[in-house]
Structure 1
Amino acid sequence: MATVAGKPRWLPLESNPDVLNKFVKNMGLRGDYEFTDVFGLDPELLAMVPQPVGGVLLLFPVSDNYMERNAEEAREIEARGQTVSDQVYFMKQTISNACGTVGLLHCLGNNQARVQFEDGSYLQRYFAQCAGKSPAERGKLLEEANEISSAHEASAQEGQTDTPALEEDQTLHFICFVEKEGQLYELDGNKEFPINHGPTSPDTLLQDAAVVVRRFMEVTPDDMRFTVMAFSKTQ
């Protein structure tokens, strides 16, 4: 694992379902769930996404407005409190540019009842190690997961865009939305805790996540660098 300014750093993943599906399958994901593009947030485009949806990945631009919004959101939650299910798998991101893999792990970690991992695979071993650990400890375990690091690096070299220099700071960030116990959770490894966005259901996860994605878009309305993918049952 490379380090820049003393902090572990990976190459960023491309927001590309083909790249992500190959990545998770190489790490041991089995079954009929995979990542697929969401081509728009209008109801007719959301209806084209295979169901059921187990998670939603959002890649979006990080701006000063976004950082200010995050700080305000954290203050509001600390003031009023929120309910977070202990069934939510959440981890901290401690590796620069690893937000794509953290987003994938958030998605897979919260769908372990729906998917299968090959016996002895990277994913099976990693999630077994994560059981009972804190978000920070899970982030540290990823730093030590050399097999996942190698798989990430191989995937980061694929895709349709040029691979950036390792020391280059990225302005795009992956997060994940999942449903747990009837609530919609935003999982961002750069935040201190999951964000509960209110009621949802397995059947309406995609539509309810789209409402929150629109709020992200409103923060930087002139920036088109938003992509959305769903983790769906495709067969």
Structure 2
Amino acid sequence: MAQDFHMEDGLDDQQTTSEEERRRYSRIGTVSSTPSEPTGKNIPQKRCSSADTTSFPQSTRTLRPHSSDRQNGSGPDAVAEAMKPLTDEERRNWKGWVELESDPALFNFILRENGVEDARVQEVISLDTEMLAELPQPIYGFIFLFRYRDEDDEIEVEDPPKCPRHVWFANQTTSNACATVALLNIVMNVSEINLGEALASFKQTTQGLKPAYRGQRLSQNDSIRYIHNSFARRMDMINADLGLQNDFEKWEKSKKNPKRKKVTNSNRKKKKDEEESGFHFIAYVPINGSVWRLDGLQRHPVNLGASGDDWIAVARAHINERLHQNDQDDIQFSLLSLCKNPLQSTRQRVAENMKLIMSIEQSLDNMKPDWKAFTPGDEVPKLNELHEIFRLSQELIDKAKPPASALERVQLASMDPSSLIKLHEELLRDQMALRGKYMVEEVSIGQENEQAAKQKQDHSPRIYSSMKAIAEAGVMKEIVQDIRERKDTK
């Protein structure tokens, strides 16, 4: 059962277990074998299963088979129960967190549902400068998924500086929440991102808390947890509950037998080979001139050094170092970037474009009132049209700040009406191009929403019903035998 933290600013950091115990019992669970959509790269097609750094949250027993069924491996009623479609009420009331795939569409859905519209997650194919330049700019941070092992706890710096006040960092205090923790550890530290009402309020109420208590508030936030679990299936929840139950039983057993035999390096290697490690999300983000590694499983954030003119170079060096620590035959990772939403960038450019057009038209009205007779007749979009297409208001246009180079061009042409008319026509063509780009991005978001809707569909009940019908018809044995014979002939 999860412990409820209450904290005052003056309290010292207190842990329910020692740092050594925290590391010992913060295990990475078995990675789900559910594949994600192929990407063509050597990326783990699995979901992240992460550790519980502080306490064990209460699980929902109604989503789990009865203990007797679980022990003897039987129980058709329990199987049928597990195959039932998950209701929205059950998902909302469940207190656990499910594993998430490293899928940009999924992360973008979580962002939008949390009210963040001006940031977008993009997959990073390569850390090469040319490839990164193809991503929407600016890049606010990276979300790095890698294979996590127990030795990674030893990487943590001894007695690191405590989390500074200007860094919003939350520990991961419940299993499987690392994806949302990493995502929020970035967006909460980027002043340019409009968090939306819900996340802005959450940030304000947790700003003065220490990372562990901040993480506990995050894990207990019903809205954030429900959005994280949007794609959960009943079996995902059952697996998460069983994992927590196993962790809790091991934890209780370890309390009764606290003395352990010292583990040698050879035994450690053997144990690592025997047990499958899980995958874990962490974040890299520049904050106030420094690059920070924000790992929810570590007690404090790690300052990687000054960002300089290229914070990505600092993050790249650390990510490459992390990859080189893996075995040569086990280089599995995924990298996502959090960028400015292209829709927002395009909307901003349209606003700048319209401000320049309006400035030119005002100058032409003063210099040559009949100037429109000398133009091809292309009309400037009306404000209501701009609002319908780009959600652009007069206020946004007035606040727009066109680039200095564009203002200089207007200034140079300001003494010649023909030059102004020519520049006016050019700006109108630019706006048409921006409109096309904006529509392409809207189509992309629509496709992501369709993909997210498909991922929400749980086909397990239908598959189970079909398999059950085949078995009851008595043809299952023949099908299995036919499959074996086909396999043997190959």
Q: Give the TM-score of the pair, scaled to structure 2.
A: 0.41
Q: Residue by residue, what CA displacement relative to the aligned partner does 1:191-223 show, whole Å, maximum 9, x if unpaired?
A: 01111111114x523332121111110111432
* 1:59 and 2:145 matched: yes
1:224 to 328, 331, 347: 331
Identify if the C-alpha distance between structure 1 residues 139 and 222 changes in structure 2 by more than 3 Å, giving closer, same or farther: same
Q: Are 2:148 and 2:279, in contact at CA under 8 Å, matched by a contact in 1?
A: yes
The alignment-based identity, stated in percent, is 29
* 1:18 and 2:105 matched: yes
Distance in 2 (CA, whole Å) between partners of 1:230 and 1:148 is 21
* 1:68 and 2:147 matched: no
Distance in 2 (CA, whole Å) between partners of 1:155 and 1:226 is 22
Q: What's the Cα RMSD here?
A: 2.7
Identify if the C-alpha distance between structure 1 residues 70 and 149 changes in structure 2 by more than 3 Å, giving closer, same or farther: same
Greater CA drift, 170-179 or 98-107: 170-179
1:47 to 120, 133, 138: 133
Identify if the C-alpha distance between structure 1 residues 69 and 23 changes in structure 2 by more than 3 Å, giving closer, same or farther: closer
Cα offset, 1:82, TM superposition? 5.2
Identify if the C-alpha distance between structure 1 residues 195 and 92 changes in structure 2 by more than 3 Å, giving closer, same or farther: same
Greater CA drift, 165-174 or 92-101: 165-174
Amino acid at match of 2:331: M
Amino acid at match of 2:113: N
Amino acid at match of 1:118: G
Matches within 5 A, 1:19-168: 19-31=106-118, 33-63=119-149, 67-75=150-158, 78=159, 85-111=164-190, 113-119=191-197, 121=198, 123-156=199-232, 165-166=239-240, 167-168=242-243
Distance in 2 (CA, whole Å) between partners of 1:41 and 1:168 is 35
Cα offset, 1:109, TM superposition? 0.9
Runs of 4+ in structure 1 off by over 4 angstroms are 81-85
Q: Are 1:14 and 1:156, in contact at CA under 8 Å, matched by a contact in 2?
A: no
**Which residue of the partner structure matches residue 214 of structure 1?**
320
Q: Are 2:169 and 2:211, in contact at CA under 8 Å, matched by a contact in 1?
A: yes
Amino acid at match of 2:311: L
Greater CA drift, 215-224 or 16-25: 215-224
Q: What is the DSSP-based 3-state SS (H/G/I as helix, E as strand, rest coil) of the residue aligned with 1:222?
A: coil
Identify if the C-alpha distance between structure 1 residues 154 and 218 changes in structure 2 by more than 3 Å, giving closer, same or farther: same
* 1:187 and 2:304 matched: no
Greater CA drift, 181-190 or 48-57: 48-57
Cα offset, 1:85, TM superposition? 4.3
Amino acid at match of 1:89: W
Q: Residue by residue, what CA displacement relative to the aligned partner does 1:156-212 show, whole Å, maximum 9, x if unpaired?
A: 56xxxx9583245870000001111211100011101111111114x5233321211
More helix by share: 2
Amino acid at match of 1:88: V
Distance in 2 (CA, whole Å) between partners of 1:95 and 1:83 is 21
Q: Residue by residue, what CA displacement relative to the aligned partner does 1:93-142 show, whole Å, maximum 9, x if unpaired?
A: 1010100010011011111x1111333x3x22321221211111111111
More strand by share: 1
Q: Are 1:56 and 1:228, in contact at CA under 8 Å, matched by a contact in 2?
A: yes
Identify if the C-alpha distance between structure 1 residues 98 and 47 changes in structure 2 by more than 3 Å, giving closer, same or farther: same
Q: Are 2:163 and 2:169, in contact at CA under 8 Å, matched by a contact in 1?
A: no
Q: Give the TM-score of the pair, scaled to structure 1.
A: 0.82
Number of positions where the alignment pairs a residue of Structure 1 with one of Structure 2: 218
Higher gyration radius (CA): 2
